[in-house]
Amino acid sequence: MRILRGKAPLTTDQMAVVASVTGLTTEQVAESVRPLPLGLVLKAEHPRWRPTWQQRARTHGITEAQARLTASYGAYALAARETRATEPDWDQRLREFLRDEAEPAGES
């Protein structure tokens, strides 16, 4: 469901499975994945976020790159629900996603 909701990207293995089931090439499936906005990528890769990604990686048993990427897609999904003419505050969206992840709805 996270993939369908745009909160997580397809992994390389998942792309291969989709390709084999649909008859598409892996490259065609990869091209269908919506890229993250450049502004969000730049914010998420800023050194000030690195300790957050390292901690998230340890907590979830994933790589730092996966921690950054999945959080970025989560922040992107939050921003996609809004209609606005200006670029979202990506730092704020990342903080919101991480806060919501740490404290899921109904557990506060």
Domain coverage including residue 61: 35-102
pLDDT at residue 9, as a whole number? 72
pLDDT tens digits for range 19-48:
899 998 888 887 777 788 999 999 999 999
Residue 44 is assigned to a structural domain of this protein: yes
pTM (predicted TM-score): 0.73
Q: What is the count of structural domains for the chain?
A: 2
- Same domain flag for 64 and 89: yes
For 3, residues 6+ apart whose C-beta sits below 8 A from its C-beta are 9, 10, 14
Contact at 8 Å (CB) between 61 and 55?
Answer: no
- Same domain flag for 41 and 9: no
